C-alpha cells in the first residue's frame, strides 16, 4: 500500500523531469522488506547500483563481526600490520611515527588524522592500492597523509578506510572482496551484492547518468578503494544489513554481539557537535545509516531505527520520544544520477509522511529537514492555513485564492499552494508552491503565527506585518 501511494506522489515523469532516470527504493517495516523501482526505463528491484560511501558502513559491519571472532579489537593499532613498502610510499618522515598510534576505531570513526575525503574512481584499469595511498601515477588522488594527530578531531577520510582495507587483508590474508563476501554478504544472504568488479555475465546494473536523458561518459567507474566506495548492491540487500544490526541490538544471538553492535553505533565524542559519526555509521538518538555519492552518477541513502538502544544522552527524554522512529523499520533509496540526492531527500520525506513516522529535525549524515523542498500532494488543504493569511516581512504575502492558499512575493501573481508530503508536528501546516522549488511551513510560536519559507538556497523564518 505504501508504494501504491508513494508512486502517486513521485512518478517516473517527476523523476525524469528532475534529472533522475531511476530510483530504487526499499522499505523495512516491522522487519519485513518491500521494494520497488520508479523509472521510465527497465531497471527493477534486482538491478545493481553502486552503494558509494555506504560501502563504508557495510565494511564497518564486517569489522564488528571480525572483532567478535577475536581477530582484533577496535583499539588494535594498525601500523604494524601495514606492509613496510606501503607505509614508505605513504608517510612523510616527520609524521611517520603517528601511524603507530592509529587504531581500528579511529579509522572507522574518521578520527585517524589521515587525509583524502573521497575518491572519484577510474574509467579504465585501476591502480594498485599502494599507488592510491602514495599518490603515485596512475592514482588520480593525492597522497594520503596525516593532516592532524590521531584521535584529535573528526575529518571524513576515505583514505583512512583504504588503510583499513589493507589492514584487513593483512590480518585475514585474503583479498578484501573475499573477506566481505565471507564475513557479511554470504551470511546475510545479500545475494545481489558484491565488492569490486561486476561479474562478466552481470547485465542488470544501473548506468550512471548526468540527467535522466544523458548518460555519463562511462557506464560506471571502478574502484581500488573497495572499503570506501566499492560495493554494488540493491536497497533490499542494504536493508538485510540494517535488519542484522537491529537484531544484534536485542540479544547476543544476532549477527553481532549486543555489546559490539551498541559500540558500533555509539557516537564518537570528539567534535560531537559537528558530526553524528559512530564507527562507520552515522548514528543519532533514533536511527543509524549512511549516505553515498560516486562519480560519474550514483547517489544513495540508507537508514534504520535502533529503538533508542544507543546514544541515550542525546537530547532531552521528551525530544527523544517525539523523534523516535518505530523499531525494526528503515529505508533505502538508490539512484543513478548526479541529481539523485535532491530527489532522495524528497522521497524520504514522502515515506515519513505516508508511514506517519515522526517529523525529523535532521537525519544522519548531514540530512536536514530544511535543506530541501518536499513533494506536493494533490488534495484538500483544510482551513487552518487561513490564520496565516496576510502580509509577511520581506515582501511575502499569503492570500486566499478561490478558497485555497496561494503565495506571492513582491507583487508577482500568486502561486497556488498544495499540501507537502512531509511529516509535521502538532499545530504545523506545510505547503509547496505549485511549479516552484519552494515551500512554506506555518507554525505557532508562543501562540503567535510565524511562517518558514524554504527555497532551493535555504530557509528563513518570517514574522507577520499585521
Q: CA angle, corner 180, sides to 176 and 182, nearest 5? A: 115
Using CB atoms within 10 Å of the CB of residue 419, give its burial: 0 to 12 exposed, 13 to 18 middle, 19+ buried: buried
State residue 320's pLDDT score.
Answer: 58
State residue 274's pLDDT score.
Answer: 67
Q: Which of 414, 427, 286, 263 is nearest to 358 (CA)?
A: 286
Handedness of CA 258, 263, 267, 269 (dihedral sign): positive
State residue 103's pLDDT score.
Answer: 99
Q: Which of 216, 196, 178, 248 is nearest to 21 (CA)?
A: 216
Mean pLDDT, each 10-residue run in order, the chain (466 residues): 92 98 98 98 98 99 99 98 93 95 98 97 95 97 97 95 99 98 99 98 98 98 98 99 98 97 90 81 94 98 94 64 82 99 96 91 71 89 94 96 95 96 90 95 93 87 93
State residue 459's pLDDT score.
Answer: 87
Cβ atoms of 190 and 240 within 8 Å: the answer is yes
State residue 82's pLDDT score.
Answer: 95
CATH class held by domain 2-65+174-368: alpha beta
State residue 456's pLDDT score.
Answer: 77
With residue 229 as reference, give the H or E element that holds it. Answer: helix 226-229
Helix axes 258-265, 54-68, angle to 10 degrees: 150
Using CB atoms within 10 Å of the CB of residue 380, give its burial: 0 to 12 exposed, 13 to 18 middle, 19+ buried: exposed
Amino acid at each position: 500500500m505504501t508504494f501504491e501511494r508513494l508512486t502517486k506522489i513521485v512518478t517516473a515523469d517527476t523523476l525524469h523531469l528532475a534529472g533522475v532516470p531511476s530510483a530504487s527504493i526499499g522499505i523495512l517495516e516491522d522487519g519485513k522488506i518491500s521494494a520497488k523501482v520508479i523509472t521510465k526505463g527497465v531497471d527493477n528491484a534486482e538491478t545493481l547500483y553502486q552503494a558509494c560511501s555506504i560501502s563504508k558502513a557495510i565494511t564497518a559491519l564486517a569489522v564488528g563481526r571480525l572483532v567478535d571472532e577475536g581477530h582484533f579489537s577496535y583499539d588494535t593499532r594498525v601500523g604494524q600490520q601495514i606492509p613496510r613498502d606501503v607505509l614508505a610510499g605513504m608517510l612523510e618522515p616527520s609524521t611517520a611515527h603517528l601511524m603507530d598510534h592509529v587504531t581500528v576505531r579511529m579509522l572507522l570513526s574518521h578520527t585517524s588524522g589521515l587525509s583524502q575525503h573521497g575518491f572519484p574512481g577510474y574509467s579504465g584499469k585501476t591502480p594498485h592500492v599502494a599507488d592510491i595511498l602514495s599518490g603515485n601515477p596512475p592514482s588520480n588522488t593525492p597522497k594520503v597523509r596525516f593532516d592532524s594527530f590521531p584521535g584529535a578531531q573528526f575529518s571524513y577520510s576515505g583514505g583512512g578506510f583504504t588503510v583499513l582495507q589493507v589492514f584487513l587483508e593483512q590480518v585475514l590474508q585474503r583479498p578484501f572482496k573475499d573477506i566481505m563476501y565471507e564475513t557479511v554478504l554470504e551470511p546475510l544472504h545479500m545475494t545481489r551484492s558484491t565488492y569490486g568488479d561486476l561479474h562478466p555475465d552481470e547485465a542488470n546494473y544501473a548506468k550512471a547518468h548526468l540527467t535522466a536523458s544523458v548518460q555519463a561518459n562511462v557506464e560506471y567507474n571502478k574502484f581500488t578503494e573497495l572499503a570506501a566506495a566499492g560495493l554494488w548492491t540493491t536497497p533490499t540487500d542494504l536493508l538485510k544489513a540494517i535488519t542484522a544490526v537491529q537484531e544484534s541490538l536485542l540479544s547476543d544471538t544476532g549477527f553481532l554481539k549486543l555489546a559490539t553492535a551498541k559500540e558500533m553505533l555509539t557516537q564518537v565524542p570528539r567534535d560531537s557537535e559537528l558530526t553524528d559519526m559512530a564507527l562507520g555509521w552515522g548514528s543519532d538518538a533514533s536511527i543509524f545509516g549512511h549516505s553515498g555519492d560516486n562519480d560519474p552518477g550514483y547517489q544513495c541513502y540508507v537508514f534504520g531505527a535502533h529503538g533508542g538502544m544507543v546514544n541515550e544522552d542525546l537530547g532531552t527524554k521528551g525530544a527523544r520520544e517525539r523523534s523516535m522512529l518505530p523499531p525494526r523499520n528503515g529505508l533505502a533509496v538508490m539512484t543513478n544520477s548526479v541529481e539523485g540526492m535532491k530527489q532522495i531527500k524528497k522521497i524520504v520525506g514522502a515515506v515519513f509522511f505516508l508511514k506517519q513516522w515522526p517529523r525529523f529535525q535532521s537525519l544522519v549524515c548531514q540530512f536536514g529537514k530544511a535543506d530541501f523542498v518536499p513533494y506536493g500532494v494533490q488534495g484538500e488543504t483544510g482551513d487552518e492555513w487561513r490564520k496565516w493569511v496576510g502580509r509577511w516581512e520581506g515582501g511575502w504575502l499569503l492570500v486566499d485564492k478561490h478558497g485555497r492558499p496561494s503565495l506571492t512575493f513582491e507583487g508577482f501573481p500568486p502561486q497556488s499552494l498544495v499540501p507537502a508530503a512531509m511529516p509535521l508536528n502538532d499545530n504545523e501546516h506545510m505547503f509547496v508552491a505549485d511549479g516552484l522549488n519552494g515551500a512554506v511551513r506555518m507554525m505557532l510560536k508562543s501562540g503567535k503565527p510565524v511562517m518558514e519559507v524554504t527555497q532551493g538556497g535555504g530557509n528563513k523564518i518570517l514574522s507577520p506585518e499585521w
